[in-house]
Structure 1
């Protein structure tokens, strides 16, 4: 028996029609399914494969599809984001946070844009995932006003302030912002000297760069708000770094010496001014004293002149006595007029006083009793001199 001949019991090797355990026929399964669908949508169950559902069933299917399509237009906008609705690519409106609806695709599309996210760009370096900054010389090297080259690294943070402008007016906002930043940065650095960029001018440069970047981005209507500009680093090129550090040290030494000189000046100048003021005040006081004494002498002379005109002889005698009293009162030598004698006794009180002090000092070698010399009070002697002078004047008269 060949392979394609029926076997025993009329069994076909390719099918099991006559086998009671064989699966049902495919045509029977399709017919049964068609009958069930016809019953649901109002069709008959006697048709073959060519019989379809009725118009009523098609209407239900179409209505269900439209409802599902309309429900797919609901969408939610989260807090801090805005929804930009476009109809066939044209802008329609901007939706606020919450539940919103738009005509479903493909008529309208919604692009959700985060307007509170802080975005940033790097110019002159790449952060490298937090493992240090890698310099980009093509972006970092810039020429200053005094024709020096500096390595400047800048980071700009920004966020979206207008979702419509951000989505439609610029093809690539981040790339545009980077190009604008690099251009503005080179312009600001080119207007500044190298020392100003590297030392005290950092804050001014950052403010100028931020202001100019915002002005350009507003002119382009990019919908971008610059929140901060950070000058990460500004230094001379690596090839001249050592020489530049030496120059900085020399500048610091210069400033230190200047500060020390100013401190010394602040210490000495007030003292000198005080001494000068004291001398001036002493001079003023001396001037007033001399003027007052001169005025007193003039007044006294005027009074003497008046008395002299009244009694010239008496006034002369009195003036002589007062002058001698003044002269002898300043001298340590005393002359004593002894009554009944022609000789005047001379007492060297200055030498006697010095001798008394020497005798009062104990001798270092020999010990002896101290000798004490006493002299009469000068005041009493002066009184005696005045008395004797007056007696002579009386006798002469």
Structure 2
């Protein structure tokens, strides 16, 4: 074989290898749970978030970095040994704002939000996330009381840790997005402290129970008093309405009487006198005398009894 043939064979092999390289590196696939970055000569030129088959320039002109869309979990303060959860004392031990020591752990759920930042802005983004988690959790626990951390303040601690951790991660610009923060079991470091705290907690619960019972009794008495007051007000309104209506009726009667008086003063005056006498002396018999003292008329206010009628007839004769 001549030298020319050797050169031709070598060139053919090189061309064949180039064609194979182009065929193998000019396409890529992105799964439903993935996203990708296209790098042209090492610089990000395209973000691919649509799943399926995609094409690009062959290597080394363009390359592809594929990232998962899944949510990851970072466990802080706890670990597993033989499938059993154990406390990592150096991580979990923290100092509260009232200078007490407790053990606290955290689970941070995160995902890759910005692929370019995650790829280029940090050598180890997950280590930075771990350090930021430690700083955020210790900072919040350091501003909380032990009672709050062990009882009803866990939700508030979770919220504050999430806010501080999100602020830190965003300032680092490492492409990580915080999805959720879950505070794990918060506990005391030894049995003696735990027993003492349990006794204090029980006493506090008893105190709260007594306070709730007292408030219940107070509310019951207040409701009874309010009901009684409303009943008295209702009765007073009824009396008020009755008296107003009575006053209106009296006013109407007075106006009618006044009109009668204006028409016949003398007759109205005598009638008023007789009606008044009838009211103040309903059982009396009234005689109207003339100027000489003689009886001119007998006016019984009450209906006459039979013997009174006989007597009246005799007197008239």
Taking structure 1 as the reference length, the TM-score comes to: 0.56
Q: Pick from 79, 82, 102: which aligns with 2:36?
A: 82
* Corresponding residue of 1:229: 181
The structural deviation recorded for 1:207 is 3.0
* Corresponding residue of 2:130: 178
* Corresponding residue of 1:213: 165
Maintained 8 Å contact 2:36/2:66: yes
* Corresponding residue of 2:227: 274
The structural deviation recorded for 1:157 is 1.7
The structural deviation recorded for 1:168 is 2.3
Distance 2:194 2:212 in 1: 27
Deviations 1:147-201 (A, max 9, x none): 3333221011222223332222211111111001111112222233334434444
Distance 1:221 1:201 in 2: 31
Distance 1:112 1:167 in 2: 9
Asked if 1:250 corresponds to 2:216, the answer is: no
Q: Which runs of 5+ in 1 are unaligned?
A: 1-41, 44-53, 328-381
The structural deviation recorded for 1:268 is 3.7
Aligned length: 282
Asked if 1:148 corresponds to 2:100, the answer is: yes
Q: Pick from 23, 33, 55: which aligns with 2:4?
A: 55
The structural deviation recorded for 1:282 is 3.0
Asked if 1:98 corresponds to 2:53, the answer is: yes
Q: Which runs of 5+ in 2 are unaligned?
A: 259-264, 285-301
1:1-397 alignment runs, 5 A limit:
42-43=1-2, 54-72=3-21, 74-75=24-25, 76-79=28-31, 80-83=34-37, 85=39, 87=41, 90-91=42-43, 93=45, 96=48, 98-100=53-55, 104=59, 110=63, 112-128=65-81, 131-239=83-191, 240-286=193-239, 292=246, 323-325=280-282, 388=308
Q: Which has the higher contact order (CA 8 A, sep 6+)?
A: 2
Distance 1:309 1:100 in 2: 120
Deviations 1:240-268 (A, max 9, x none): 22232233333333333344344444444
Distance 2:268 2:58 in 1: 135
More strand by percentage? 2
Distance 1:145 1:125 in 2: 22
Change (3 A) 1:259 1:288: same
Change (3 A) 1:247 1:170: same
Deviations 1:53-98 (A, max 9, x none): x2222232233134314523534343214256475xx546457463
CA RMSD of aligned residues (A): 4.3
